[in-house]
């Protein structure tokens, strides 16, 4: 029985730590106080990755040409990942862009190829389905005035603030801001992030670029920060389970490429932040299951276990009625399937569009 109690408390601590305690600790760590320069306008190459985006690419390119940034300092690259629709035709109607028509290879491969023709000092990575606010690029690059910064992640906002993903995303943004203050933001957002061109490293096709690239750059001596005023807006994703399963699988599969940075004794170790923010979150459903199972076996021993067990039953039952709780449950189921995919050696390099 004591072993069961230890298991219950360890799993409970893991849940509380990754959900609450970690972000509290971050807010007590001394800030690095990065400087910004609002009138800083270096040359940038904006890389737009696209697969079957015929419905969105025109709007995206119009938005790009309307951005408030010197036109002679921005190179626009559209990297088409073997689309089977009219994405390439729609994009070819625009002048003053570099258009890459690539065979299907996945987003990371597409970005690797696009960087080969990037001419400018900074790289900005974007998807085809989001719209940048007019000053988004200027807000991003202002952070590079500090020589310590190697990667800047912008803020993705969903148009429907009442969506089931909104609460989760607000918490994720709060974590990003807290990690950013110490320059250890774990990963970036694939919709809007920038890196120094000379720091970019080509990545394996099966890796997830917006997680792996920033980590590699951090390991090479440069910090990762978050810029909440560089804003990209897109519609709430229509599907959750398969998208989360794919992202977590690719993230878990990318760990092998940065194992040295997860060594707690490495001088640029990301062990604590990575485990606290990412790894424990991906394995959260396992801890939740252990909590539920162990408290169910222990509930007759103590009122505390009985209360915790009933609280969990109530929460999961609420998922039948409340979309936010249901979203939490679906995401955790996706994690379970992603972990299984990872354990059996499954890889996924490409993605499909659900619009």
User: Cα separation of 139 and 295, whole Å?
Assistant: 49
Residue among 120, 182, 108, 161 at smallest CA distance from 350: 108
- 298/9 Cα distance (integer angstroms): 12
Query: Residue 163: what pLDDT?
Result: 56
Residues 164 and 102 placed together within one structural domain of the fold: yes
Q: Is residue 249 part of a domain?
A: no
For residue 294, how many other CB atoms are within 10 A of its CB?
23
Q: Point out the domain boundary residue: 238, 269, 295.
A: 238
Would 223 be classed as within a structural domain? yes
Helix (H) or strand (E) holding 122, with range, is strand 122-127
Output the domain CATH number for residue 97. 3.90.550.10
In this structure, are 304 and 337 located in the same domain? yes
User: Quick one: 85 and 118 in the same domain?
Assistant: yes
290 and 330 part of one domain: yes
Query: What is the structure's pLDDT at 167?
Result: 72
Q: How far lies 74's CA from each of 4, 68, 189, in Å?
A: 60, 11, 21
Residue 95, in any domain of the structure? yes
In the prediction, which pLDDT does 164 show? Answer: 61
Structural domain includes residue 146:
yes
User: For the chain, what is the mean pLDDT?
Assistant: 93
Residues 228, 91 share a domain: yes
Whether residue 27 lies inside any domain: the answer is no
Answer yes or no: is 333 within a domain. yes
197 occurs within a structural domain: yes
Whether 186 is in a domain gets the answer yes
Average of per-residue pLDDT across 124-149: 97
Mean pLDDT of the region 194-210 = 96
pLDDT tens per residue across span 137-190: 999 999 999 999 999 999 999 887 655 666 777 888 899 999 999 999 999 999
- Asked if 204 and 319 sit in the same domain, the reply is no
Domain count, the chain: 2
Identify the residue with better confidence: 168 or 315: 315
Residue where one domain finishes, among candidates 238, 270, 293 = 238
Q: Is 355 exposed, middle or buried (0-12, 13-18, 19+ CB in 10 A)?
A: exposed
Mean pLDDT, range 103-131, rounded to an integer? 96
Per-residue pLDDT reduced to its tens digit, 54-99: 999 999 999 999 999 999 999 999 999 999 999 999 999 999 999 9
Q: Are residues 228 and 311 in the same domain?
A: no
Please give the full DSSP string across 33-98, using - where no structure is assigned.
Answer: -----TT----EEEEEEESS-TTTHHHHHHHHHTSSS-GGGEEEEEEEES-SSSHHHHHHTSSS-E
Residue 235 has pLDDT above 90, yes or no: no
**Could you tell me which residues come within 8 angstroms of residue 198 by beta carbon, excluding any fewer than 6 positions away?**
none
Specify the DSSP class assigned to residue 200: -
pLDDT (0 to 100) of residue 170: 84
- 256-301 pLDDT tens trace: 999 999 999 999 999 999 999 999 999 999 999 999 999 999 988 8
pLDDT at res. 161:
60
Give 99's strand partners.
78
pTM here is 0.92
d(C-alpha 232, C-alpha 64), whole Å: 11
Is it the case that residue 340 has pLDDT exceeding 70?
yes
Query: Does the pLDDT value for residue 21 go beyond 80?
Result: yes
Q: Examine the fold and report which residue of 205, 238, 271 is the final residue of a domain before the chain moves on.
A: 238
* pLDDT at position 303: 87
Domain that holds residue 326: 2-22+281-343
Residues of the chain above pLDDT 70, percent: 97
* Same domain membership, residue 314 and residue 179: no
Q: What is the DSSP letter of 278?
A: I
Residues paired with 230 in a beta bridge: none
CB within 8 Å of 330: residues ≥ 6 apart: 240, 241, 244
Average pLDDT over residues 110-116: 97
| 46 beta partners | 76, 124
Count each helix (H run) and each strand (E run) in the chain, helices first.
14, 8
The answer to whether residues 16 and 51 belong to one domain is no
Statement to judge: residues 312 and 191 lie in one domain: no
pLDDT at 319: 84
pLDDT of res. 41: 96
Same domain, 84 and 140: yes
Whether residues 306 and 170 share a domain: the answer is: no
């Amino acid at each position: 029985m004591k072993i069961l109690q230890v298991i219950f408390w360890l799993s409970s601590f893991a849940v509380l730590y990754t959900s609450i305690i970690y972000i509290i600790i971050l807010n007590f760590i001394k800030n690095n106080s990065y400087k910004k320069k609002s009138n800083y306008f270096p040359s940038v190459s904006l890389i737009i990755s696209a697969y079957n985006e015929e419905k969105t690419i025109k709007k995206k390119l119009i938005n790009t040409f309307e951005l408030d940034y010197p036109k002679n300092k921005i190179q626009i690259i559209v990297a088409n990942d073997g689309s089977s629709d009219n994405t390439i035709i729609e994009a070819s109607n625009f002048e003053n862009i570099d258009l890459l028509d690539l065979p299907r290879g996945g987003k990371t491969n597409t970005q690797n190829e696009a960087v080969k023709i990037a001419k400018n000092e900074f790289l900005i990575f974007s998807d085809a389905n989001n719209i940048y606010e007019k000053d988004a690029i200027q807000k991003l690059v202002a952070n590079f005035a500090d020589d310590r910064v190697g990667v800047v992640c912008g803020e993705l906002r969903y148009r429907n603030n009442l969506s089931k993903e909104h609460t989760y995303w607000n918490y994720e943004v709060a974590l990003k801001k807290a990690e950013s203050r110490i320059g250890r933001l774990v990963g970036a957002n694939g919709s809007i992030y920038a890196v120094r061109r000379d720091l970019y490293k080509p990545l394996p096709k099966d890796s997830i670029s917006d997680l792996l690239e920033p980590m590699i750059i951090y390991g090479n001596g440069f910090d990762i920060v978050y810029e909440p005023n560089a804003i990209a807006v897109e519609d709430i994703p229509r599907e959750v389970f398969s998208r989360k399963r794919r992202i977590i699988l690719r993230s878990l599969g990318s760990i092998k490429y940065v194992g040295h940075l997860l060594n707690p004794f490495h001088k640029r170790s990301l062990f604590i932040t990575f485990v606290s923010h990412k790894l424990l979150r991906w394995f959260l459903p396992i801890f939740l299951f252990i909590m539920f199972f162990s408290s169910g076996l222990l509930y007759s021993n103590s009122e505390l276990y009985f209360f915790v067990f009933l609280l969990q039953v109530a929460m999961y039952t609420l998922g039948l009625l409340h979309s936010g709780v249901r979203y939490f449950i679906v995401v955790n189921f996706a994690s379970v399937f992603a972990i299984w995919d990872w354990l059996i050696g499954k890889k996924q390099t490409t993605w499909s569009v659900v619009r």
